[in-house]
Amino acid sequence: MKDKFIRCNQVVEMTGQSRSTIYRKIANDAFPKPIKTSARSSRWRLNEVIEWMESLPRL
């Protein structure tokens, strides 16, 4: 299966995390890094975001 790439606003919607929280977690190696798709654009691999969400502890 080919990777599907999603934008930051989709990541925010899926995870419930704010944009600044996502980037802070990326800096701390606690969230998947985006892929640079052009000089001004980045995307996340959908399957990596889903794997991150599934790895969270269940409450």
Give residue 58's pLDDT.
87
* Residues sharing a CB contact under 8 Å with residue 58, sequence separation 6 or more, in sequence order: none
Span 1-45, pLDDT tens digits = 578 999 999 999 999 999 999 999 999 999 999 999 999 999 999
Give residue 59's pLDDT.
80
Cα separation values, 33 from 6, 21, 58, Å? 12, 13, 23
- Domain ranges for the chain, please list them: 5-55
Write the DSSP assignment of 13-26 as a string of letters.
HHH---HHHHHHHH
Tell me which residue of 55, 15, 57 sits closest to 44, measured CA to CA: 15
Give residue 1's pLDDT.
54
